[in-house]
Structure 1
Amino acid sequence: MQSPTPPRSAPTGAPTSTPGAVEVRRSTRRRRTVTAYRQDGRTVVLIPASFSRSEERSWVDRMVAKLETRESRGRRRSGTDDELMVRARALSEAHLGGVLPSSVRWVDNQHRRWGSCTPADGTIRLSSRLRGMPEYVVDYVLVHELAHLLEPAHDAAFWALVGRYPRAERALGYLEGVEARTGIDPA
């Protein structure tokens, strides 16, 4: 992976951005904490306005490295399409009576959905945006899509099936938080 473009600082409260790079946002309300996340192909680092340029550079480097490590772990955890199928089988046996899809795979073209299922042919696709998220969140989306093999509509019977996954509510809350932060509302 290429190293990020060196960050530029902005006046207090104004963001800086270089396409595909690092955006540093200074805040007068922030005193000590530093936060970083990925958004629209760039890394956003939130720092206190009082930080010097050298503190900014140090924190940006540290936070970019932390995000890369977290994402790397998530990619290893998320695995291949074959590993997704193994997970789907295990989740189905544990929570949905063993219904099996014909295929499960990662896709890069789902920007407004976390996953999709075509009950007619039994295929399930998960958005690659899920890579790097906690395992229980990926598992929730798998259970959600597997439930569509039994109940195609989002009706009460469908949600009862999804509710068999013990961390469903927590995972749904996590995804709603991601959607709120990114402004994406999957249909």
Structure 2
Amino acid sequence: MSVHTSSDGDLGDDVDGPRGAATADGTDGAPLGPGGIEVRRSRRRRRTVSAYREGDRTIVLMPARFTRAEEEAWVQTMVDRLAAQDRRRRPSDAVLARRAKELSVRYLAGRAVPTSVAWVTNQSTRWGSCTPSDGTIRISSRVRGMPGWVLDYVLLHELAHLLQPSHGDPFWALLDAYPRTERARGYLEGVAATAGLELDDGSPLEEDVVPEPLEQSAKARRRSTQSRTRPPADG
């Protein structure tokens, strides 16, 4: 494990008090290679330590007063914590399928039963998609790493399509059971806006979304346009 120690500003989420002990190789001022760890000490910090990813590096922020032994212990602790977060936020296909089943039981009375749920890397204009005719659900790899409640919303959106292929009122009524629907939609819109992409016009793609009937109410039409689980089209 390559560790480089320097002095820099404060970023990341704070975690109180030291925990555990371990060792980390490397010396102060050592070159930082790909996937290495950079320790940034700050005199403004008193007792908190935080860590975050920066590209392929791990940045650990800690008080300047920490000893070398404390630094080593904290580096290992924070690396382990980030790894645990990655496992929670980047579940495998099997874990994704189990979560979809749990969500179906909890919010849809177990009525949505997908035949498969998997991550895909070829969806650049939507967060998720499903094919009601064969029960398959695909989740964009862009969602991987987002908060769990956002992933849950995307899964529920696609599960709801197994029961209601269109985006009419009955579809949105199914999602009303999930308490974080509006918050998750706002989060996804924010991600898209930050990326500087223009919003998709909401037109159906392939067979996974059924066009709305002409007699659809104005209210349902507005919700359909605003609320697909798609990121904006690539600019």
Q: 2 CA distance for matches of 1:22 and 1:184? A: 27
1:12-23 to 2 correspondences below 5 Å:
12-13=8-9, 18-23=33-38
**Greater helix share, structure number:** 1
| Structure 1 residue 137: Cα displacement | 5.1
2:226 is aligned to none
Distance 2:98 2:43 in 1: 49
Please give the alpha-carbon distance, in whole angstroms, between the structure 1 residues aligned to 2:130 and 2:153.
17
Compute the displacement of 1:161 (Å): 3.0
Deviation of the 1:117 alpha carbon: 0.8
2:153 to 125, 140, 156: 140
TM-score by length of 2: 0.52
Kept in 1: contact 2:118–2:138 (CA 8 A): yes
Using a 3 Å threshold, how does the CA distance of structure 1 residues 24 and 166 change in structure 2: closer, same or farther?
same
**Moved runs in structure 1, 4+ residues, more than 6 A?**
110-114
Whole-Å separation in 1 of the counterparts to 2:122 and 2:101: 23
Asked whether the 8 Å contact 2:93–2:117 carries over to 1, the reply is: no
Equivalent residues in 2 for 1:107-122 (5 A)?
Answer: 107=120, 109=121, 115-119=127-131, 122=135
Counterpart Cα distance in 2 of 1:54 and 1:94: 47
The secondary structure found in structure 2 opposite 1:45 is strand
Residue 128 of structure 2 aligns with an amino acid whose one-letter code is S
Is 1:8 matched with 2:4? yes
> What SS does the corresponding residue of 1:9 show, helix, strand or coil?
strand
Question: CA, structure 1 residues 7+46, in 2 after alignment: closer, same or farther (shift >3 Å)?
Answer: same
Alignment counterpart, residue 116 of structure 2, candidates 65, 81, 103: 103
Aligned to 2:22: none
Q: Aligned match of 2:81 in 66, 71, 75?
A: 66
CA contact (8 A) 2:128 2:137 kept: yes
Gaps of at least 5 residues in structure 1 are none
Q: Which residue of 2 aligns with 1:37?
A: 52
Could you tell me whether the CA contact under 8 Å between 1:140 and 1:167 is conserved in 2?
A: yes
Distance 1:141 1:111 in 2: 13
Asked if 1:48 corresponds to 2:63, the answer is yes
Which residue identity lines up with residue 51 of structure 1 in the other structure? F
SS in 2 for 1:65: helix
Q: Kindly, what percent of the aligned residue pairs are identical?
A: 42
CA contact (8 A) 1:27 1:46 kept: yes
SS, match of residue 4 in structure 2: coil
- Residues in 2 aligned to 1:33 and 1:112: alpha-carbon distance in whole angstroms: 39
Aligned to 1:92: 104
Alpha carbons 2:132, 2:165 under 8 Å: kept: no
In our comparison, the structure showing a higher alpha carbon Rg is 2
**In structure 2, how many angstroms separate the alpha carbons of the residues matched to 1:112 and 1:95?**
28
Distance of 1:39 and 1:157 partners within structure 2? 43
Per-residue Cα deviation, 1:108-152 (whole angstroms, up to 9, x for no partner): x37978941134654322338647965x55433311222344255
DSSP-derived class of the 2:48 partner: coil
User: Which consecutive residues of structure 2, in runs of 5 or more, have no partner in the other structure?
Assistant: 12-30, 197-230
- Indicate if the aligned counterparts of 1:84 and 1:105 stay in contact, CA closer than 8 A: yes
Offset, 1:35: 1.1
